[in-house]
Amino acid sequence: MLALPRLEGPRLAGLPADDLGFIEIDDHARVVGLDNVYAAGDATAFPIKQGGLATQQADAAVETIAARLGAAVKPSTFQPILRGMLLTGIAPTYLRATINGDLPEHGELAATPLWWPPTKIAGRYLGPYLAETARREEGTALEDQPVSSDDPREVQAGHREARELALTFALADANSQDYPSALRWLEVVEQLDGILPPGYIEKRTEWRERAHG
C-alpha cells in the first residue's frame, strides 16, 4: 500500500481558490475571475507541481503582461513540457514529456541531457542562471536536445555531471578511509568515460594498497 498526502492550496486572502485552495488560471496565467492578476507555480490549480512548469507559467504571464503594456510580442500560451532528471545515484537519467490536459504524453528518456544546460530546474531563464551560478556550464537560453547522439563529445558532456559526482564521492570516501567504496566510484567513472581523469590512476594505486593493507 502506498500512502500519499493530499495536496492543499494556500487559500491566499483576496484571491479566488478552487475547492482545494489552489488558484485557477487560464492559458496565459491570468487568474480566473480577476483582471490584471496573474499567478504561476505550485499555488495554481495545475495538477503537476514542478519548478520547471512554474517557470513556463511565469513565461506565459510575463509575455501577456508585456503585450498588454504595448510590447511587440505575441504572448504564447502555457504549453507544459515536463523535464525531469532522475538521480539514480550513479548517472542521471533525463526525462521529457509534453502534457495533454493533466496527463504526460510523448515521453522521452535518455542517458544524455535532453535540454541544455542540464539543470534540475529547467526554465528558459532560470536554468541557464542556475548553471552559471553553479559555474557548471554557461548558457543564455534553455535548449531542448535530441534523444540520442553519436557524437562522442556530446556523450562526454552528458557524462560530466555524473563524473563530477562520482569523483566527489570517491574523494569523500577516501578521506573517510573507506577505500573499497572510493574504488567502486572510480569504476563508475571508468564505465562512463573509459578512462580515469589525470591523477586518478595514481590515487587508485594508492587506495588499492590502503584497501588491502
Q: Which residues contribute to the site for ligand FAD (CB under 6 A)?
A: 10, 12, 41-43, 49-52, 54, 120-121
Distance of alpha carbon 97 from its chain centroid, rounded? 13
Going from the C-alpha of 149 to that of each of 64, 98, 112, 154, the distances in angstroms are 37, 21, 8, 7
Q: How far is the CB of 85 from ligand FAD (least distance, A)?
A: 6
DSSP H stretches of helix in the chain: 51-68, 126-133, 152-175, 179-193, 200-212
Q: How far is the CB of 44 from ligand FAD (least distance, A)?
A: 8
- Scanning the structure block, which residue is given the C-alpha cell 535530441? 146
Q: Which is nearer to ligand FAD, 54 or 196 (CB)?
A: 54
Q: Which is nearer to ligand FAD, 61 or 170 (CB)?
A: 61
Query: 130 with 55: CB under 8 angstroms?
Result: no
- Rounded Cα–Cα distance for residues 203 and 36 (Å): 61
Residue at 158: amino acid letter: G
Q: How far is the CB of 136 from ligand FAD (least distance, A)?
A: 15
3-class secondary structure, 84: strand
Q: Which is nearer to ligand FAD, 12 or 66 (CB)?
A: 12
Chain position whose Cβ is nearest to ligand FAD: 41
Q: Which is nearer to ligand FAD, 9 or 170 (CB)?
A: 9
Q: Which is nearer to ligand FAD, 87 or 195 (CB)?
A: 87
Q: How far is the CB of 165 from ligand FAD (least distance, A)?
A: 15
Q: How far is the CB of 51 from ligand FAD (least distance, A)?
A: 3
Q: How far is the CB of 157 from ligand FAD (least distance, A)?
A: 20
What DSSP string runs through 17-51? --TTSPBPB-TT-BBTT-SS-B--STTBS-S---H
- Find the distance separating the first CA and the last CA of the chain, reported in whole Å: 47
Q: Which is nearer to ligand FAD, 90 or 121 (CB)?
A: 121
